[in-house]
Amino acid sequence: MISAEPKLLEITSAKYAGDFKLRLTFNQEEERVVDFSDFLLHTKSPMTTKYRDKDLFKNFTLKYGDLCWGDYEMVFPVADLYTGRL
């Protein structure tokens, strides 16, 4: 019997959920609300501090199952988003 390989974890949907939170849906049919406010408060990189501006923060995209801002200026491992560890 050949077992199927597990699916690579991907984000299938992302929606702004207020403040600096996003509601993420994963291909495992799981949904999580991830709060990015603590990360943004403590980051020191000018490449990511600009996303403290809510209008910029809301301008995220999904590329190949990854959540990213700009040209991959801010991106997180999908597994960390799934577990809520930023």
Asked, for residue 55, whether it belongs to a domain, the answer is yes
What's residue 4's pLDDT?
Answer: 60
At 68, the amino acid letter reads: C
What's residue 3's pLDDT?
Answer: 54
Domain count for the chain, please give it.
1
- Residue 17 domain boundaries: 11-83
Residue 14 CB-density burial (10 A; 0-12 exposed, 13-18 middle, 19+ buried): middle
CATH of the domain at 36: 3.30.2020.10
Asked, for residue 2, whether it belongs to a domain, the answer is no
What's residue 59's pLDDT?
Answer: 96
Per-residue pLDDT of the chain (86 residues; tens, 9 = 90+): 555 666 789 999 999 999 999 999 999 889 999 999 999 999 999 999 999 999 999 999 999 889 999 989 999 999 999 998 88
DSSP track, 21-77: EEEEEETTS-EEEEE-HHHHHH---HHHHGGGSHHHHT-EEEETTEEEETTTTEE--
Asked, for residue 63, whether it belongs to a domain, the answer is yes
**Cα end-to-end span (Å), the chain:** 39
Asked, for residue 6, whether it belongs to a domain, the answer is no
